[in-house]
Structure 1
Amino acid sequence: MQLPDSFFENRKLENLVENQTSYTLNNAAMHVFETHQQAERVLLQFDKPVLASMLHGKKIMHLRDHNSFDFLPGESLILPADEVMCIDFPEAQHSNPTRCLAMAIAEDKIKNVVTLMNENIGKADGQEWSLMDYNFHFTNDAGIFQILQRLLFLFTENHPSKDFFVDNMLQELIVRILQTNNRKIYTDKALKLSSDNRLAYIIQYIRDHLHESLSVELLSRKACMSESNFYRVFKNELGLSPVDFINTERIKLAVSLLQDPNRKIKNIYLECGFESRSYFNRVFKRMNKISPGAFQAKVAKG
């Protein structure tokens, strides 16, 4: 993500460690933190739920009751109100500063969006949407990346209607994060949940049959749902279509198989359930920004 020119035109660099530039609107505040020298055990806390997203550089995060982990560009973290973050900056330099976005969102706004989702976006088996898991660490997908980029622009823009613009973007951001969180819960706990949750059962079925032909017709039949209802519920809950989910799981398998330099790509794509080599190449490159052959060669070189 790139900070807009208007940010650099208006910000003042007063501190070398976690210099803070803030923009406050009705339902959210956006803070951009910049660190220009190495530092350790820097403490940070917000009184509202926060989406933290790395823009540039590397942090090491230490959170209560969690193992330490690297926080890198393209990744985000959801934190509850009043969570104390302890942060190391092992690589920050004046010529290569660490930059991070922190979006503090009013709890009432989040609750209102959850209510709207329960009224308009049905879940399987009569379940309801609820607040997201906090301390949820994830990689931004294309949709979340584009929203965050747009929010960076909107917060720094001098426009009389920007509160309205931002409010609409926040609603979409919350929906997408909840779907991403739901997807992680299902994929992490599919086997455990599969006995009494239809989507969890289908996700486990997909994983167990990746090498076979999988269609929406087959999966909807397994879920005892009509095709149209199955497709709608699946996409509403996980934020992507059944076909996109299947391809994501197949590419994950392909990535693991390509770690072996002796494996032939012509065998790998069939093992992963792709019927066409060209389609496999296209999907793999779209998801990984590199061809399967180039990826395998890169792994082999170390």
Structure 2
Amino acid sequence: MLKLSDTFLKGRRLETMVENQTSYTLKNAAMHVFETHEQAEKVLLEFSQPVLASMIEGKKIMHLRDYESFDFLPGESLVLPANETMCIDFPEAKSKNPTRCLAMAISEEKIKNVLQFMNESITKDDEKEWSLMDYNFHFVNDPGIFQILQRLLFLFSENHPSKDFFVDNMLRELIIRILQTNERKIYTSSQMSINSNNRLSYVIRYIREHLDEPLNVEDLSKKAYMSPSHFYRVFKNELGISPIEFINNERIKLATGLLQNPRLSIKDIYMRCGFESRSYFNRVFKNRQQLSPGEYQAKVKTIRYS
């Protein structure tokens, strides 16, 4: 989970309880941190440049044009085009448990320069040229993207004469990693675009609706009317990850939300998410969130009651 430094929290000014904005602007990008300290609905937000929005704390419900509404949770990011209007609900925001989100607006010129660099230096598996990312791309941050975002939070707020240079280098790596992640097509249900037929779409909906139950390739392949080996190949070709990786990603997204409920024990949570043992749950969760479930739950509790 991304963390705001004590220096940032002490230095910023709270002028409004809904989407209070702290901004830092450099040559090729601007970093905005938004904080909401009370429940709110239908808050509109728009940027004049492409933006990477990353949840830090709390929960938002996002309403985007032409897409179904979805929960936006810590550890997730969303790529939006310039001039895209977001309509946002804050169902759980409180003064002691605020919702916080990082928005990194990046110049289109910078993105084009990185694309040119990638096409000159990084060969795609299909040998085609790299192109602009799919906007409204919603994904779970991998460790590399998480570390870059945490570093950018520090760099933008640091008073250093060379920070424009430092940030520019980090932005290039961030754009490359996002484009590579986008290439793997890890989409939410509202963005899922399956090229084969409705059998795979049905299986994906089934997985999301039965995360608390045992799920394995053999049973899922029967629901898709495919052999296990053919199902595995089709699934990985369409989504860029194996069925088990997809299931674990969905279970961790569910667990991240449940861990913010102080009335639930970790055992309750891993069982609701379909993990057979706490040790396996701990390992998968920490691999994706850089914290163990217990550490994550303790951090949420500390923030809530601080």
TM bucket, shorter chain: 0.5 to 0.7
Partner of 1:287: 284
User: Is 1:145–2:165 an aligned residue pair?
Assistant: no
The separation in 2 between residues aligned to 1:54 and 1:166, in whole angstroms, is 20
Secondary structure, in 3 states, of the residue corresponding to 1:88?
strand
Per-residue CA distance 1:73-94 (angstroms, 9 max, x = gap): 0010000000000001011001
> Aligned pair 1:81/2:82, yes or no?
yes
Q: Which amino acid letter does the alignment assign opposite residue 36 of structure 2?
A: T
Q: What's 1:72 paired with?
A: 73
- Aligned to 1:126, what secondary structure does the other structure show? coil
The CA deviation at 1:7 is 1.1
| CA positional deviation for 1:288 | 3.2
Which amino acid in structure 2 is aligned with residue 132 of structure 1? M
Alignment match, 1:52: 53
Q: Distance in 2 between matches of 1:180 and 1:117?
A: 14
- The residue that corresponds to 2:163 in the other structure is 162
Question: Is the Cα contact below 8 Å between 1:50 and 1:78 reproduced in 2?
Answer: yes
Correspondence 1:203-222 to 2 at 5 A: 209=229
Cα 1:21/1:62, change in 2 over 3 Å: same
- State the alpha-carbon separation in 2 of the partners of residues 92 and 260 from structure 1: 27
Check whether the contact 1:210–1:250 (CA below 8 A) recurs between aligned residues: no
Alignment correspondent of 1:32: 33
Matching residue's letter, 2:284: M
- State the 4+ residue runs in structure 1 displaced beyond 2 angstroms: 188-193, 207-212, 249-256, 281-290
Q: Match of 1:227?
A: none
Q: CA shift at 1:190, angstroms?
A: 7.7
What displacement does 1:10 show? Answer: 1.8
**Equivalent residue number for residue 3 of structure 2:** 2
Shift of 1:287: 2.6
Residues 137-286 of structure 1: matches in 2 within 5 Å? Answer: 137-184=138-185, 192=196, 209=229, 249-252=243-246, 286=283
Displacement of 1:6: 2.2
Aligned-residue Cα RMSD (Å) equals 3.7
1: distance between equivalents of 2:36 and 2:9? 15
Amino acid at match of 1:124: D
* Structure-2-length-normalised TM-score: 0.66
Residues 67 and 254 (structure 1 numbering): CA distance in 2 closer, same or farther, change over 3 Å?
closer
Q: 1:43 to 1:141 in 2, by over 3 A?
A: same
Amino-acid identity (%): 65
CA distance in 1, matches of 2:176, 2:151: 16
Matched AA of 1:16: M
In 2, Cα distance between the equivalents of 1:146 and 1:255? 19
Change (3 A) 1:210 1:91: same
Contact 1:19 1:33 in 2 (8 A): yes
Question: How far apart in 1 are the matches of 2:77 and 2:159?
Answer: 26
Secondary structure of 2:129's counterpart equals: coil
Provide the C-alpha distance between the structure 2 equivalents of 1:260 and 1:14, rounded to a whole number of angstroms: 42
Maintained 8 Å contact 1:251/1:284: no
Question: Would the aligned equivalents of 2:77 and 2:141 in 1 still touch at CA under 8 Å?
Answer: yes
Q: Which runs of 5+ in 2 are unaligned?
A: 198-226, 234-239, 251-269, 288-292, 294-306
- Report the residue type matching 2:6 in the other structure: D
- CA change 1:82–1:7 in 2 (3 A) is same
Q: Does 1:107 align with 2:104?
A: no
Q: CA deviation at 1:289?
A: 4.0
State the Cα distance separating 1:253 from its structure 2 match: 6.0
> CA offsets per residue over residues 108-130 of structure 1, 9 Å max, x none?
00011011000000113431100
Task: Structure 1: state its 5+ residue gaps.
Answer: 194-206, 215-237, 239-244, 266-280, 296-302
User: Does the C-alpha gap of structure 1 residues 41 and 113 become closer, same or farther in structure 2, counting only changes over 3 Å?
Assistant: same
Q: Distance between the aligned counterparts of 1:255 and 1:50, measured in 2?
A: 23
Aligned residue identity for 2:135:
Y
Alpha-carbon distance in 2 for matches of 1:39, 1:254? 32
Matched-pair contact (CA < 8 Å) for 1:38–1:90: yes
- Aligned with 1:116: secondary structure? helix
Residue 91 of structure 2 is matched in structure 1 by 90
Contact 2:248/2:284 (CA < 8 Å) preserved in 1?
no
Alpha-carbon distance in structure 2 between the residues aligned to 1:69 and 1:19: 22
TM-score normalised by structure 1 residue count: 0.67
**Alpha-carbon distance in structure 2 between the residues aligned to 1:124 and 1:182:** 10
- How many pairs are equivalent? 232
Match in the other structure for 2:17: 16
CA distance in structure 2 between the aligned counterparts of 1:158 and 1:130, rounded to whole angstroms: 35
**Partner-residue secondary structure (3-state), 2:15:** coil
Q: Residues of 1 paired with 2:27 and 2:72: CA distance?
A: 29
Offset, 1:282 = 8.8
Q: Which amino acid aligns with 1:172?
A: E
Mapped to 1, the partners of 2:49 and 2:245 lie a distance apart of 37
Deviations 1:268-295 (Å, cap 9, x if unpaired)?
A: xxxxxxxxxxxxx9987533349xxxx9
